[in-house]
Chains A and B, each alone.
Chain A
């Protein structure tokens, strides 16, 4: 560069600071169709299309796989099976068990047997259906019940203990026990799984992948190809939704496309059609809850024995951590004086269940909420009173069953606030009045709380990196290890950097997440995206700002402490120059304008052997109040009104946070109402497309939907601008809908019979619960 560029104009009033209601950085590109997803990238010359052949049986020995018809199908350039793999064959992310291509055995219906590369997507898909496969069928464990009964586990059972639960229950004035089933959930990201691999020099590979975990995708591609990681670059600009479904489940398609690219020497894109995507990838774990609870006459829990059994599918994948997180959330907001929480990792011959927003937390939380509801009917009290009575509190009621002390007592005031703003008590009376006047339609009301632990429970994942460049025109390029899946992470982290430099957000360009810019990153998961990457980016920004400050202090002979970065300018005593001018001066003064940033979460530790420690840096809280209407003749239902109060600390961006809250709530509502996964007796997923698997539509959004951020509630921990994580916690607000539906059913029996309402509460299950309560009422009369 001979001549410095014109500096960027300074804004009189800058926008986009941390805390401001800034729009999503890609919003204008989303609406115009200009935002590029992997399938939209202009196709490189000579590109081939990959596809996969799937097993049509759940558990079998592979006797013979005749792929002649596949090989000779029109357009086919390559076919690959397990025996062709050059290096790593098992891409299990934590524990082994996930074969890239089936090796001699099939463990679930829809397992990938082989991959094909052809000259068009259509040719590849057609060819993949031509395989002639001979199976020797074996007994398949397809249900949680049967596999649990036989103690088929993918990982050992784990137990968390506090006090003597058996004695506490035995000596309690009241006892209840029961069994409760919780359904799984398909992530249903609108953009399906996809990867595009482009071979380069020296055997290198560039992989465009729709992945939440580029570093792991990179590692696995390298290992599958037998390359050092340094020769593989994974990049992702954005995903069309992920929700956990692309945390580990994106890896297989990246590895296969890279493998086919390596073998053919041509770029290969592999995109799954929806039905195959839903069949072969993992979902939220279905769970069973078996419990025994002792409580006093006011409904205070004295002792709890809870067995949580998660259906992990055929392999461990992330299930150890997922079942752990279910166990960590089996208390929700409630103090358990004595408890034994057992977590089973059940193995079935189904697709390996995986991460999905909440990561087991929702299932653990729903289990305890179902127990609370039963206590309400047993004691004849309003479920909200039972909940409030059981909240954690100071003085002897502030330690969880895994030994973490609750330091911020937010839930009681938050719920008190929502009780008032939602007019819960008045509406309880109105609901009662409505129900006494209506024989067929019944209303239900529920207010449920959420406490969600923030941090990866796998300690080493709690670290992040960033890379920041300032160019000589004053523009800034930001890169960090977090991925953008719609949550607005790029926007939030850019806001952090804008705040550090006092520049307008438009000065900052977020570039695609790439393993060659920031290495060894963690998945964008566990709600940690802005906590971790925001801090790492701030670290990088502060390094550069510090260099600029030191340079300016010397050059302009002003005390460093007096130098201020604000409004696109830098104040240097009496002088004020633009940020860009200072940057140019610094460049000429030979100051480095590029920095890496790094962060690791402090304070956390957990001793799994003793099931005790502080796994979470802090907790995020929230509560929702839902009112529903059910039809007791058909089980059809509507959500009429929802009020939410969510604790996001000091919000980094209120509009993005509200988007996460509303979207999370509706997703949680879908999980517990219309989203039902059904397999046939051979283990084939029947609900494998959006025609049969029903996520909420616009008509399911409650006509009254009030969302409030808990005011004046900065995080007491030193998080980025004292904000709190917001990705996962709101999903569990959807539990209020399930509880309200149950409340409406219970009203048929004057709330004296506990309805048996497994999740999801489909119209069919609601009608069955109505019949059950009606029958109990009939017996009483």
Chain B
């Protein structure tokens, strides 16, 4: 049984094809057509809806893409759509702000914007220009040029009073508690296709062993594309979301351990505490809707050559803890990817935890994402650099690139060119030349091989410049934007 709330109404489904997306369910089964399909691939935001779930005595509001969220994964949540907001014939203040600011033209993207803004408004007490751009970066509008939408985002904060959702929090919490108190683990099936959500790591291992053909699903932001674009129908999907071991974030004296099913949104803060330069990368990784669903384990597990986080983890000397019915083992992140879309994961094995060594006081970490568009774009090149700089020399170094090979890959010869030397132009020039030996970049519609090689080299040059200048932020165009100190 899968159960969730739509507004205040319980929906309980046993006969559910696990391949059913939230969008199709809303539009086709319920006739709720306010939520639009723009791309069915999580790239335009027209289908944005909001899920809420209990966090302490409050509700968390998360914007997600209905088109690539499988309905079965909403078990135990409340789902809100654009139809949920107006009450008693009165538009919600987010909606009214959009009207007042002339922020819709053709109107097709508008419900998605409204829902992203609503989630932001419910999660943030104050307007922040930079943050709102981060929150709305996954919603495309082809008509307005966005300026009036930003105005509406300011205006939705007037008046700063509670709305009907604040007043209904308690009732929603109670209803969700009721759903979650039910003993059975969520599952559903239709036409012989199953969805399982084991409630512990060992149960997950058992389920994988029992269903050798099954696919693991975490946020599903990548996997669902196989359903909506390639028209695949998975016969068994096993969710990682209900195993508490995979949801944990723990810190020891020297290691940060992040469960494989922790979303980007949920680990961003602690990651940025230790490695402040990750802040920009995490804002630019996918869009808010994706970061709300996508997990660290998923990004690693699908072994995409252009995932943004693997280069970071390789540079940081992270280790991946894998589990199966036969036990657990650890693999160095740098050894995890064995080929294009291939990993060290054996049969019946899943990623349980990512262990990242905490930085020393002499460590310096930089990461650069270079893409055609700043927000919600896949990197042409992503370079991650960890340097331990002691007594004027590079004592230890970890460098990895994404977009430069069939897999995210460590730049071992580049590292060697820097290790044990002062960070000088001579060392960097040697490193740049070594980089040419480390990589033969890929060529695709995002960038040519030449460009990738040129940029990858230039990122080393930038590293030197930033090292010489101290604060490197003014050296990045991405910092020159609304609400930023350099704009």
Give me the interface of A with B, judged by CB distance under 8 Å: 23-24, 26-37, 39-40, 42, 122, 125-126, 129, 187-192, 238-243, 273-275, 440-441, 485-488, 629-631, 633-638, 640, 655-656, 658-659, 662-667, 674, 676, 678, 686-687, 689-692, 694-701, 703, 705, 762-764, 767-768, 771
Contact = CB atoms under 8 A, between A and B. Distances in A.
Given A662-B147, A666-B146, A699-B137, A27 B38 contact: no
B110 interface: yes
8 tightest Cβ-Cβ pairs between the two chains A and B: A33-B34, A486-B106, A240-B108, A30-B107, A666-B145, A486-B105, A40-B33, A678-B445
A122 B25 CA distance: 13
Interface stretch (B264-272, B384-392, B475-483): B475-483
B145 A701 contact: yes
A31 B95 CA distance: 5
B106 to A, nearest CB: 3
B128 to A, nearest CB: 14
Contact of A686 (B35, B81, B142, B444): B444
Interface of B: 27, 31-41, 43-44, 46, 81-83, 85-86, 91, 95-96, 98-100, 102, 104-111, 114, 129, 132-134, 136-150, 229, 231, 368, 370-378, 380, 444-448, 451, 454-455, 458-459, 461-462, 465, 474-478, 480-483, 487
A633 B140 contact: no
Contact of A32 (B95, B134, B140): B95
Contact of B91 (A31, A667, A699): A31
Given A33-B83, A42-B31, A691-B41, A659 B105 contact: yes
A630 B477 contact: yes
Contact of A239 (B106, B445, B474): B106
B133 A698 contact: yes
5 contacts: A31-B96, A238-B106, A659-B143, A692-B445, A696-B373
A32 B82 contact: yes
- Residue with the greatest number of chain A CB neighbours at <10 A, chosen from B106, B370, B475: B106
Nearest to B102: A655
Contacts of A240: 36, 106-109
- Residue with the greatest number of chain A CB neighbours at <10 A, chosen from B96, B132, B455: B455
Given A273-B40, A762-B372, A703 B108 contact: no
B374 A24 contact: no
B378 to A, nearest CB: 7
Contacts of A674: 372-373
B4 to A, nearest CB: 19
Nearest to A686: B445
Contacts of A763: 370-372, 380, 451
Given A630-B477, A690-B39, 11 more contacts: A190-B106, A190-B140, A241-B108, A638-B481, A658-B102, A663-B144, A663-B145, A703-B482, A705-B147, A764-B447, A767-B455
A767 B451 contact: yes
Contacts, number: 265
B105 A690 contact: no
Contact of A27 (B98, B133, B462): B98
Contacts of B85: 32
Nearest to A762: B372
A26 B43 contact: no
Contact of B33 (A36, A274, A441, A771): A36
Contact of A634 (B39, B99, B145, B370): B370
A487 B142 CA distance: 12
A690 B41 contact: yes
Nearest to B37: A39
Nearest to A484: B106
A274 B39 contact: yes
A635 B140 CA distance: 24
A631 B82 CA distance: 40
A239 B31 CA distance: 20
Given A125-B231, A486-B143, A690 B44 contact: yes
- Residue with the greatest number of chain B CB neighbours at <10 A, chosen from A189, A703, A762: A703
B373 A488 contact: no
Given A275-B229, A440-B465, A659-B144, A24 B105 contact: yes
Nearest to A690: B43
Contacts of B444: 686
Contacts of B371: 763
Nearest to B455: A634
Contacts of A34: 34
A579 B483 CA distance: 52
Contact of A190 (B86, B109, B378, B461): B109
- Residue with the greatest number of chain B CB neighbours at <10 A, chosen from A32, A33, A35, A659: A33
